[in-house]
Amino acid sequence: MPARGYTVLAMGTRTLDRRRLDSPHRDPMLERFGLAVRSLREQRGLTRDAVAVRSGLSSVYLGNIERGEVNPTLLTQLKVAAGIGVPLDEIVAAALAPPDAA
């Protein structure tokens, strides 16, 4: 039974927790990490599809990361960084930087 106020949708054999999609329930740090990924990708002139191929991830999942909808594991973060061609600490530093420093 889902927590009160949340909807869980059945999708085949998987369930989708609607909290992941609702902006008020997103973690601000995940959103900042995602924005840093998108910004660094765009600065290098890379498409989401190109980074997905280079990182071995799906472009849909990469989009979820960029929108802050998922919490990628450390290994996934390393794959994203490799796909963009930057060290992971550059993404993290961009995510932790004050908003006006971007």
Per-residue model confidence as pLDDT tens for the chain (102 residues): 455 554 444 444 444 444 455 555 679 999 999 999 999 999 999 999 999 999 999 999 999 999 999 999 999 999 999 999 999 999 999 999 987 755
pLDDT at 4: 55
- Say how far apart CA 33 and CA 65 lie, in whole Å: 8
Helical ranges in 44-87 per DSSP H: 48-55, 59-66, 74-84
pLDDT at 5: 53
pLDDT at 26: 77
Tell me the three state secondary structure of residue 17: strand
In a domain, 5, yes or no: no
For the chain, the domain total comes to 1
**CATH code of residue 58:** 1.10.260.40
Find the domain containing 48 and state its range. 26-101
Are the beta carbons of 34 and 92 closer than 8 angstroms? no
Are the beta carbons of 57 and 80 closer than 8 angstroms? yes
Global pTM exceeds 0.85: no
- Say how far apart CA 93 and CA 96 lie, in whole Å: 5
